[in-house]
């Protein structure tokens, strides 16, 4: 059940490929390389089993890819001449582009899902590819609120639901794939527009009404403290900070934002024995992180901070290490032809109106 936006984007990318626009723009658009964003990695059979009677209702499918696609992506990027680097190595390449010859890719995973260890790590090992895992400190402790996943699961299992922001409307039907998706998308974006406290309160209210256990969801999907400690010891894995509670930094006061950054990092240092140097802004879009927040990340003592603003890396990013762009390995685009376009950088240069640093 692809959204209208996804269908339009795929049409535009298809036209770009047919016309060869990416090849023409490549000298301007490819840059030094790119940082890739991933979340979940698991086989298609696991997803199909989870979707069950509602196979077309998968609003968070964009946040996961299969191990086979991850393997194909690594193979394609290396065939295109990109070296897979750690983020530390990439920062050095940005600061000294003349020293390193050839382009590079960095693989980053947000949130610390169990499937990163179970299904992504074997692929990374096969390619000897390092990866950064950004973890909110409440998640390994089993108290993180993965509210967007909870929302999907509550809608999937229900026939009618009362929206926490519209109780006066009473129960609304969510019996079909179409009804479920419409309900999810409207409520999701309503929640994203709320204050962070009101957002979480609304989700907790809905979960309580449904008898849904938010903590159990976190424990089911995310690496525990002990599992994270073991994972962090793998030579290919580096752990980065991702706040305490996965709140949009831009929606918080400066004091709250700094507390989320620093306390999350403090906990990871205590749990893992070393202090994370790199930070990922939750959500990472323009409404979730902006100039004030980049300055706060620098003040908090990080060496870099990544966003989800789409773009390639250029030499000028040496002066913008706290708002680094990333390219999503998106579940809606699990085909090599799309990755070839993304790797060229052309779609992002066009979207950013030819600004290399947006």
CATH number for position 254? 3.20.20.370
Query: Is residue 229 a part of any domain in this protein?
Result: no
Q: Are residues 252 and 338 in the same domain?
A: yes
Q: Are residues 43 and 117 in the same domain?
A: yes
Name the token pair of 61.
Answer: 């499918």
Query: Is residue 232 a part of any domain in this protein?
Result: no
Q: Are residues 159 and 115 in the same domain?
A: no
From first to last of the 358 residues of the chain, give the pLDDT tens digit.
Answer: 457 888 899 999 999 999 999 999 999 999 999 999 999 999 999 999 999 999 999 999 999 999 999 999 999 999 999 999 999 999 999 999 888 789 999 999 999 999 999 999 999 999 999 999 999 999 999 999 999 999 999 999 999 999 999 999 999 999 999 999 999 999 999 999 999 999 999 999 999 999 999 999 999 999 999 999 999 999 999 999 999 999 999 999 999 999 999 999 999 999 999 999 999 999 999 999 999 999 999 999 999 999 999 999 999 999 999 999 999 999 999 999 999 999 999 999 999 999 999 7
Phi/psi at 205 (5° precision): -60, -45
Q: Are residues 243 and 115 in the same domain?
A: yes
Of 186, 221, 256, the last residue of a domain is: 221
Q: Are residues 114 and 215 in the same domain?
A: no
Q: Are residues 56 and 160 in the same domain?
A: no
Strand 104-110 relative to strand 131-135, pairing: parallel
Of 221, 247, 273, the last residue of a domain is: 221
Query: Is residue 230 a part of any domain in this protein?
Result: no
Secondary-structure percent of the chain, ordered helix, strand, coil, rounded to 5: 55, 15, 35
Q: Are residues 162 and 252 in the same domain?
A: no
Q: Are residues 17 and 37 in the same domain?
A: yes
Dmax over Cα atoms in the chain, in whole Å? 64
Q: Are residues 169 and 295 in the same domain?
A: no
Query: Is residue 264 a part of any domain in this protein?
Result: yes
Of 221, 255, 279, the last residue of a domain is: 221
Q: Which domain holds residue 112?
A: 4-138+237-351
Q: What is the per-residue DSSP string for 45-107?
A: HHHHHHHTT-TT--TTGGGEE-HHHHHHHHHHHHHTT-EE--HHHHHHHHH-TTTS-S-EEEE
Total domains present in the chain: 2
Q: Is 239 in a helix, a strand, or coil?
A: strand
Burial (CB < 10 A; 0-12, 13-18, 19+), residue 281, is: buried
Query: Is residue 269 a part of any domain in this protein?
Result: yes
**pLDDT tens digits, 231-253:** 999 999 999 999 999 999 999 99
Query: Is residue 231 a part of any domain in this protein?
Result: no
Query: Is residue 358 a part of any domain in this protein?
Result: no
Query: Is residue 101 a part of any domain in this protein?
Result: yes
pLDDT computed for residue 1 by the predictor: 46
């Amino acid at each position: 059940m692809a959204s209208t936006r996804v269908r339009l984007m795929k049409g535009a990318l298809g036209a770009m490929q047919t016309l060869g626009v990416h090849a023409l723009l490549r000298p301007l658009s490819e840059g030094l390389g790119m940082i890739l964003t991933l979340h979940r990695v698991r086989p298609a059979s696991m997803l199909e089993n989870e979707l069950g009677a509602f196979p077309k209702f998968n609003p968070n499918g964009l946040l996961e890819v299969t191990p086979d696609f991850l393997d194909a992506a690594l193979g394609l990027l290396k065939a295109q001449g990109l070296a897979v680097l750690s983020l530390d190595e990439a920062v050095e390449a940005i600061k000294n582009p003349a020293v390193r010859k050839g382009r590079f890719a960095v693989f980053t995973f947000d949130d610390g899902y169990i499937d990163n260890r179970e299904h992504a790590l074997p692929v990374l090992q096969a390619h000897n590819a390092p990866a950064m895992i950004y973890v909110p400190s409440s998640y390994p402790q089993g108290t993180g609120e993965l509210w967007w996943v909870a929302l999907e699961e509550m809608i999937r299992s229900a026939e009618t639901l009362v929206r926490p922001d519209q109780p006066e409307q009473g129960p609304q039907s969510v019996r079909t794939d179409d009804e479920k998706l419409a309900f999810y998308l409207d409520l999701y974006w309503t929640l994203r527009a709320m204050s962070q406290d009101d957002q979480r309160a609304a989700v907790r209210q809905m979960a309580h009404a449904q008898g849904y256990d938010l903590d159990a969801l976190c424990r089911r999907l995310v690496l525990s403290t002990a599992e994270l400690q073991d994972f962090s010891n793998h030579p290919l894995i580096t752990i980065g900070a991702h706040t305490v509670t996965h709140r949009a930094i831009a929606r918080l006061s400066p004091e709250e934002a700094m507390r989320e950054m620093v306390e999350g990092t403090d906990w990871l240092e205590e749990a893992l024995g070393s202090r994370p140097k790199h930070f990922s802004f939750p959500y990472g879009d323009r409404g979730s992180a902006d100039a004030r927040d980049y300055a706060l990340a620098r003040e908090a003592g990080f060496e870099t901070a990544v966003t989800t603003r789409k773009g390639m890396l250029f030499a000028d990013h040496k002066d913008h290490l706290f708002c680094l762009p990333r390219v999503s390995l998106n579940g809606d685009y699990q085909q090599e032809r799309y990755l070839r376009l993304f790797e060229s950088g052309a779609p992002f240069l066009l979207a950013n109106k030819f600004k290399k640093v947006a």
